[in-house]
Amino acid sequence: MTATPALTFRLVSKVYDSSSRESRFALREVSFDIPPGLKVAIVGRSGSGKSTLLHLAAGIDVPTQGEVSIRGRNLAALSDRARTLVRRQEIGLVFQFFYLLPHLSVRENVCLPGFIAGAGVSEFEERASELLEEVGLLDRAEDNIQELSGGEMQRVAICRSLLRKPRLLLADEPTGNLDDANSGLVMNLMLKLASKEGHTLVYVTHSAELASLADEVWRLQSGVLNPS
């Protein structure tokens, strides 16, 4: 019996300014299935639709046409609240600009998805410590975010994305704001943690070198997806 795909796109198109005559396709009839545990790198030029693809996969945007499913559940058929709950329970997000909150400490930033989910405090604080230890930042847990370097910030963001053990980890150019040394470090760390906990990972990158670390590399070109 084949396992239900972690993420499915069926003929997904996303059009911006669909009301105007010159509507712009960000994605054009994209279809794929990503089985659980697979690590996929998506590469493409700026404006090729990489971020749109991730937004649709995370359910924070809806397609103009087609169907996006997380473990067989069509996101478009869900209410906004139900989509939010899917995101909360199933998906972890890593962003290029980290998006850490300056008024929270390192540990509190990692715990943020736990705060939002209202999960048991002791449970996610323990998990946060584990993750911070994995990325070598446990001793900085109570520090302010502003005191961290870019690489450290992205490590905290990765911990945050993994806090609630999501089945699907989506990363939008996670190393786009880091130098080469930190890029390799962060990417390897993310892949290591994803493998260790069996997460499905989809990440967008410009770097062919970092893309090569994935199980599969797909290329997006003007909204059309081609396996490499």
Partner 1 sequence: MIRYFLAAWIAHLRKAPSLFLLSVLGVALGVASVVAIQIINRNAIGAFSAGIKAVSGEVDLTVLGQTTTFPEELYSQVLATEGVAAAWPLYQIDVALADRDAFFLQVFGVDLLAPVRLPWNSSPADLSQALFEPGWIAVTPSLAQEMGWSIGDPIDVTSGTRRVQLVIGALVDFKKVSPLASRKLAVMDIAQVQGLLGSSGRIHQIDVQIQEGTHTEELILRLQNRLGPSVQIVTPRQREEQAADLMGAFRLNLTALSWISLFVGLFLIYTSTQASLLRRRLEFGLLRSVGATRAQVFGLILGEVSLLGLLGVILGLPMGYWVAQSNVEMVSATLTNLYLLQEIDSLQLSPSLYALAAGIGLGGAMAGAFFPAIDISRKNSKDLLTAFTLHEKANSLALPVFGMGWLVLTLTALWFWFLGYSWKPAGFVLAVAVLVALPLLTPFLIQQICGRIKTRGFGLGYSLKSLAARLQTTSFAVSSLAIAVSMLLGITLMIGSFRKTVEVWVQTTVQADIYLTTPSWRAEPEATLDAELVSALAAHPGVVSVDRLRRLLVSIDNKRISLVGVDMDLSGGQSRFPLLKGDRMEVLGKVQQGGVLISEPLARKSRLDVGDLLQVYAGAGKLEFPIAGIYYDYTSELGSAAMDLAVMGEIFGPGPIHSLSLYLEEGRDPERVVDEIKARFPDTPLQIRSNQRLREEIFEIFDQTFAVVRILQMMSLLIAVCGIMLTLLVLARERISELALYQALGASRLQIFRLFVGKGLGMGLIALGLGSAGGTVLAAILIFVINRTYFGWTIQVYWPGWPVLQQLATILTAALLASLYPALRASKTPAVELSRDDLQ
- Which residue ranges make up the site for partner 1 (CB under 8 A)? 55, 58, 60-61, 80-81, 84-85, 87-89, 91, 93, 95, 97, 99-104, 108, 111-113, 115-118, 121, 160
Torsion of CA 156, 161, 164, 165, to 10 degrees: -110
CB within 8 Å of 10: residues ≥ 6 apart: 31, 66, 67, 68, 69
Nearer to partner 1, 125 or 214 (CB): 125
CA distance 125 to 32: 36
- Minimum Å gap between C-beta 60 and partner 1 is 3
Nearer to partner 1, 2 or 122 (CB): 122
- Give the CA radius of gyration of the chain: 17
Q: Contact at 8 Å (CB) between 108 and 125?
A: no
Nearer to partner 1, 9 or 95 (CB): 95
- Minimum Å gap between C-beta 161 and partner 1 is 9
- Minimum Å gap between C-beta 215 and partner 1 is 25
Tell me the pairing of strands 39-43 and 200-205.
parallel
- Minimum Å gap between C-beta 191 and partner 1 is 22
Nearer to partner 1, 121 or 208 (CB): 121
